[in-house]
Copies of this chain bind each other. A is one copy, B any other.
Amino acid sequence: MAEERDPEGLAAARPLLTDLYQATMALSYWRAGRARDEAEFELFFRRCPFGGAFALAAGLRDCVRFLRAFRLRDADVQFLASVLPQDTDPAFFQHLRTLDCSGVTVRALPEGCLVFPGVPLLQVSGPLLVVQLLETPLLCLVSYASLIATNAARLRLIAGPEKRLLEMGLRRAQGPDGGLTASTYSYLGGFDGSSNVLAGQLRGVPVAGTLAHSFVTSFSGTEAPPDPMLAPAAGQGPSVDLPARVEVWLERVCAHLRLGPQEPQRGERAAFVAYALAFPRAFQGLLDTYSVHRSGLPNFLAVALALGDLGYRAVGVRLDSGDLLRQAQEVRSVFQATAAQFQAPWLESVPIAVSNNIDEEELARLAQEVGRPGRGGWRLRGGGPGRETQLPRATAFPQGSEVDVIGIGTSVVTCPRQPSLGCVYKLVSVGGQPRMKLTEDPEKRTLPGSKNAFRLLDSDGSPLLDVLQLAEEPPPRAEQELRVWPRGAPEACVVRPAHVEPLLRLCQPLPPLAESRAFAQSCLGHLSPQHRRLEQPAEYQVALSEKLRALVDRLGGAPPP
């Protein structure tokens, strides 16, 4: 995977990408003489998304880019002046012109790290006015990135490790940058690549794509390619008139499939030939523009076998409508029979790609084991270290999923089960003093004080609990007993972790995206059964140290004043 190349990708995340109240508060802090007070905020969420038991942290690389570039230009300050009171002291705007993030420190969970409710994804400390201004852009950059990385991770768990998952939701995203973010972080979460070329160019995401229905319908069959000749794959021997060779194969294929030679649509075949002439080493057929069985499949086979004569191997077919599981089985069955008929064994295993509004339920169906219809792949494969032994096929007709590649658009990009993560950014200390929002809604109370976070691990590396404690407390130690207060539990408990990992670190330099992806996959591989659940939160995920718990009691234990 290439390193990232994003000289301009942050264009949309500009300093005024913020809520107006950040600017009005900035003026008020400044007027109150508090602009430079040292403050610390934490960015976290309150519940794991999608009703599941885990989330992945993501978006940090966009935050780092944003913070590095953060500076209000004259035009920005002028715009703020136009929406703030006319008699605002000009010295305030002068102060705004001097701002940057050189005084801001960010500690963060690394991208791809598992994250649980209440644990800060980011700790941001620095001058009160500046770190307040950063609230909205940081929330914007982290929330969706983490949501889609988590969504992609769920889809990966459901699909199992072997299906190729492609994100193709650019057209369903919230505008251009939504699409770019989706492609970037679905890759981080476990997808294999994206259709989005810009994500390849700017972020180094592997890109994939072949042809659409419009390409097929654009051909009527009367078009003559300017150059129909194709040289053999090995480069030796005479070139061949590909369309003529395809017509020869079409007759054989139709006889084999008991179709009339006029049944396969001419325009579709012309389109396949045109694509094959441009991509002889990467020919893929889109089968369902007219009729899969009576047109798309025989046309594909004729072109694939003609290419085969020249030493080229078709790389796949795609189905984009109807019952994808059933059709993939039927197509595989035809491949097998045709491979036997024409002594073309490579044809048996041509990858079958599917797309068309695939959601988690449909993905589970498409991921079922060969030979075990009706069970989702994630149930069979999710818990164990490897793929279960494949059962021998009972009949020639495949019984499980024959799908190799799955393209997902809407369901990955829009996260329809929960389209927003709901991250918040809360003040935890000012001038070294802890701060707490009490409110009458207990779920909205915050945890005060500058903190540290540690992950307590079992001997197999799976997470037991995350512990939040005050920054001044010594870190927990492996193999030592620790008394903590799990959030939501009626009382304290004692844990004895085999390993302890500090979670928050200064966030530079960032690893390349592909490295973060590998880290995410390794984290997911260590999830305990109760944390890998997709439909039910884990019982306890996060605990407070005794000291932090005492501080919460002191500041918030009494009924609100």
- A-side residues, CB < 8 A to B, are 8, 11-14, 16-25, 27-34, 37, 39, 41, 62, 75-76, 79-80, 83, 85, 128, 132, 135-137, 139-141, 143-145, 168, 170-182, 195-198, 200-201, 207-218, 220, 223, 225-227, 262-265, 274-275, 277-279, 281-282, 288-292, 294-295, 321-322, 410, 413-416, 419-420, 422-423, 425-427, 430, 433, 435-441, 444, 446, 560-561
Contacts and interface: CB of A to CB of B under 8 A. Distances in A.
Given A25-B211, A25-B212, A435 B218 contact: yes
Nearest to A561: B265
A448 B322 CA distance: 22
B197 A17 contact: yes
A423 B409 CA distance: 13
A20 B176 contact: no
B215 A17 contact: no
B410 A420 contact: yes
Contact of A201 (B79, B175, B214): B79
Given A12-B175, A24-B209, A136-B171, 20 more contacts: A11-B11, A13-B175, A13-B176, A19-B209, A20-B207, A21-B211, A23-B197, A24-B210, A28-B279, A33-B225, A62-B175, A85-B279, A85-B281, A135-B171, A140-B176, A141-B176, A175-B177, A178-B181, A213-B427, A289-B437
Given A16-B197, A175-B181, A282-B85, A274 B436 contact: no
A262 B560 CA distance: 12
Candidate in A170, A295, A439 with the most chain B CB atoms within 10 angstroms: A439
Contacts of A227: 31
A305 B119 CA distance: 41
Contacts of A435: 217-218
Contacts of A11: 8, 11-12
Contacts of A415: 419
**Copies per complex of this chain:** 2
A410 to B, nearest CB: 5
Contact of A196 (B8, B19, B180, B218): B19
A266 B226 CA distance: 83
B174 A175 contact: yes
B290 A215 contact: no
Contacts of A174: 144, 173-175, 177-178, 181-182, 413
Contacts of A19: 168, 170-171, 195-197, 209
B28 A211 contact: yes
A294 B561 contact: yes
Contact of A217 (B140, B216, B295, B437): B437
5 contacts: A18-B197, A21-B210, A22-B212, A137-B176, A174-B174
Candidate in A175, A274, A282, A289 with the most chain B CB atoms within 10 angstroms: A175
